Each structure stands twice: as structure tokens, then as C-alpha cells.
Amino acid sequence: MPITLAVPLDLPDVRVLANRMLEDGTVLIEVESTLRTTQCRCCGREIDRFHGFDRPIRLRHLPVFERVVFVEIRPKRYRCPYCEDGPTTTQRCVWYDPNRPHTTAFEQDVLKRLIHGTVADVSRLLALGVKAVEGLMDHRLAPAVDWTAFAALETLGIDEVALLKGHGHYVAVVWARDAEGHNPVLAVLPDRLRATVQAFLETLPDALKATVRRVCMDRWEGTAGAVAAALPDAQIVVDRFHVAVHYREAVDALRQAECRRLNAGRSPERAVPTAALRPLLRREWRSLNLGQQGKVVELFEQTPALASAYVLRTLLTAIFEHSPDRATAQSRLQRWVKQVAASGLSCFDRFLNTLHHWQDGILNYFEGGHNSGFVEGLNNKLKLLKRRCFGLDDPTELFRRLWLDIEGPRLWA
């Protein structure tokens, strides 16, 4: 026999008629609307001539004490006295959408649970079908960015992320950074080809295109060409940390070659401890203690070439950290290039080619110190998302889940 309950209900413009628990343990709350008017579906006028009740509908609502709750309502119908033949219109309440099996509050609760979660977890927790959760996301989450939500796009960031092991199935992710420090995701593109990136950038409204001042990126020709074609007035800023990886790899390759040369004719007891020295040489000099500095100096005494490369690497890092403007940085970089030529080292040859080819993008970093740090940090969210949701590789779904993880806490805090 059904059990009568007293369950509070926080829905606007409704009156509770009855509460009871059904035999299967679910809670049923019968309500009626307190509104006495609606808008005619034909002429749009406000009408108040009551005609009758529509068939009852049951909507899944927020759980109470971990029990499933349904709200049952019989929508009112009103007849229009202004239209010919007097058509009737069913009243709609703001707390549910027509033809949806859940209340708006319940659907928002599902979206909150999906933040940093999975569809399977939410489905199991709420005893809701997987298809129902996916359909709810399709209904509530837009498949693409809403440009009307942006007044300006000052800084964009573009990077690629591999969805599969072994650097397979790359997608390009486009982010923005506004004046308040928010970093909304703009798109997850199916690949990183120039045509794909350019096609998306050209979809930006003209008013927003005019506000884009810079695009932060790594050294990828396709992305640079797409930005130059679609946003000709925007600066291309090559991330300084991607540049640092390039010239540090040059010193690391020289270290490996020099250690192999020194250990070629030595016994294992007299060999240079390459494993112990590797982390010391990758760190900056000022971060080493006296004992560690002594070990590095001992190695430098045996290989002056490595010592020169280490000093040049340190000087280049100092240029990036302490140059106040573009002109100063340009003159210091030119002086550094001359020092490399005078040293006779060949380990920096590939980096010098990179420096020459990407000179404008690298120098643009010194106009405000903008970089791709926010992009790399947000890409970690995408990597965490792809590990959490096994097999999730659809760009549209990735965009929706990224948007939910980033914007959801701010919208529903």
C-alpha cells in the first residue's frame, strides 16, 4: 500500500497536492500550477480562459534521501478568444521543458555530477540509463562555441594533443584568455592540418576578429600559416618554453657525445658517472649546492666544449628572463649568435636555423611576455579527460566535456 509522505518541493509557481511513496520505493509528488494564464500558441497573446486539464505527465526530479523522486503534473489548457475557431494552448512551466522526461533542476544536477566525472559513474549513481545521460548532454550542451558570449578575444592559444599512444590521432585545441583570467575552450578540431585550423579561424565573427591581438602557439608551420591567412593583424607568439626545449636538447646531445668520448677508453671504475651528472647539467647553476657545483666543474675541466655550451645555454635563458623589450632582446640575441659562432660549437646549428626562421614569433614574446603556459595547463585537462573517459575521441564530445569541466564550476558554484 502506498505510504503518504511530507516532502518539501522547491519549484516555482506550483502547489503540492499530495506526496506518497510507491511500492517500488520511489517518491511521487503530485502538483498543480498556480499560474492562471498562458500565451496563445497562435497569436502570442496572454489568455486566461480556462478550458481544462491535459493528460498527466511524470518528470524525474532531484532525489530525496537517496530515493528516486517523480513530479506529476496535469498541465492546464486555455482557449484563445482572439483567434478564429478558438484554439487551445497547453500551459508551460519554467521548471521543465516540453517533451523532456526530467525537470530542469534534475538535468542541471546531472551536469554537475558529470564535471570531472564519467557518464558511466553518473548513470550508476542515479540509476539512469547511459543513453539518457548522453541524450541529456546533447540537449543541454551546445556542440560548438557560442560567439555571442564573448565581447573580445585578445589572446588565443592553439596547440595539438595526441589522443592515442605513440602520438597518434592528433586534435587541435583552440583556447582563449580574457581580461579576467578565464580560459574558455573555443574548439576541438578533428586534426591539426592548416586547412582545418584556418577554416575554424575564419568562422570567427568579424567583430571578434578585430579584437584578436596575438595567437600563442608552438613551432608548427601549419598553425602559423592558418593564423597568418585568417588573422593577418594578429601577432604570432612562439612559446618561449618550446624554444627552451630546443636549445636545451642541443646541450643535452653534446653532453651525451662528450661522455661517450671520455668513457671510451676508461675502465668502469674510472668512467664519468653520466647518470649522476645528467640531472645536474639540466639544472641552472644557481640551483646547485657547492658539492654539486664541484662535480660539474670537474666534468667541465675534462670537456671545455661542454662547458662553453653550458654557459651559452645559461646566457640564452637569461636573455629570455631579463630582456625588458623587443629591441633589447633582438640586440642581445644577435650578440649571442656571434658568441656561438666564435665558440666553434656545432651543437647549436639546428637551433640557429630555428631562431632565424621563427625570429618574429620568438621576438613577439618580449612584447608583454605572453606565452602558451595557459594552453599547456589546459591541455592537461584534456589529457586527464581522455584517460578518464576511455575511448572518447569524438571532437564534439571532447568539446562538450571540456566546456563542462572548465565552465561548469564557475556557472554552478
Summarised one tens digit per residue, pLDDT across range 300-310 is 999 999 999 99
Chain position carrying cell 542515479? 126
Given pLDDT bands bounded at 50, 70 and 90, which one contains residue 75?
Answer: very high
Is pLDDT of 250 > 90? Answer: yes
Same domain, 115 and 201: no
Q: Are residues 44 and 124 in the same domain?
A: no
Question: What is the average per-residue pLDDT within 282-290?
Answer: 92
Give CA 229 to chain center in angstroms.
25
What's residue 325's pLDDT?
94
Cα separation, 228 vs 356, whole angstroms: 18
Residue 210 sits in the same domain as residue 224: yes
Amino acid at 189: L
On the question of pLDDT at 199 being above 80, the answer is: yes
With bands split at pLDDT 50, 70 and 90, how would you rate the model's confidence at 383? confident
In this model, does residue 3 exceed pLDDT 50? no
Q: What average pLDDT does range 142-167 have in this prediction? A: 87
Q: What percent of the residues of the chain are helix, what percent strand, and what percent coil, each to the nearest 5? A: 45, 20, 35
The Cα 173–Cα 179 span in angstroms is: 20
1: confidence class by pLDDT, cuts 50, 70, 90:
very low
Section 109-130 average pLDDT: 92
Q: Which residues contact 210 (CB under 8 A, 6 or more apart)?
A: 233
When pLDDT is averaged across residues 239-258 and rounded to a whole number, the result is 93
Residues ≥6 apart with Cβ < 8 Å to 299: 272, 277, 281, 306
Mean pLDDT, the chain, rounded, equals: 91
Angle at 117 between CA 113 and CA 119, to 5 degrees: 85
Domain end marker among 84, 119, 140: 140
Provide the pLDDT for residue 389.
82
Residues 6+ apart with CB under 8 A from 323: 329, 332, 366
Tell me, what's the pLDDT at 292?
94
Residues 92 and 63 in one domain: yes
In contact, 69 and 61? CB cutoff 8 Å: yes
State mean pLDDT over 127-152.
92
Same domain, 52 and 34: yes
Whether 356 and 247 map to the same domain: the answer is yes
Count the domains in the chain: 4
pLDDT tens for 102-114 read 999 999 999 999 9
Q: Do 15 and 115 belong together in one domain? A: no
Which of 6-15, 89-98, 377-386 shows the lowest per-residue confidence on average (mean pLDDT)? 6-15
DSSP code string of 209-276:
HTT--EEEE-S-HHHHHHHHHH-TTSEEEE-HHHHHHHHHHHHHHHHHHHHHHHHTTS-TTTS--HHH
Mean pLDDT of 267-286: 90
Domain shared by 379 and 235, yes or no: yes
Can you give the three-state secondary structure of 326-340, one letter per residue?
HHHHHHHHHHHHHHH
Query: What is the pLDDT, as a whole number, of residue 8?
Result: 54
Please indicate, yes or no, whether residues 260 and 358 belong to a single structural domain of this protein.
yes
Which is nearest to 386 in space by CA: 114, 164, 123, 76?
Answer: 164
Report the pLDDT value the prediction gives residue 344, as an integer from 0 to 100. Answer: 93
- Label residue 381 by pLDDT band (50, 70, 90): confident
Do 228 and 264 lie in one domain? The reply is: no
Q: Quick one: cell of 302?
A: 675534462
- What CATH number does residue 206 fall under? 3.30.420.10
212 with 293, same domain: the answer is no
Task: Please report the pLDDT score of residue 166 as a whole number.
Answer: 65
For 173-199, what is the mean pLDDT?
A: 90
Q: Give the domain range for residue 107.
A: 102-140
Distance (Å, whole) CA 131 – CA 37: 36
pLDDT at 319 over 90: yes
Residue 401 has pLDDT above 60, yes or no: yes
Residues 360 and 320 placed together within one structural domain of the fold: yes
**Predicted local distance difference test score (pLDDT) of residue 386:** 82
pLDDT at 332: 96
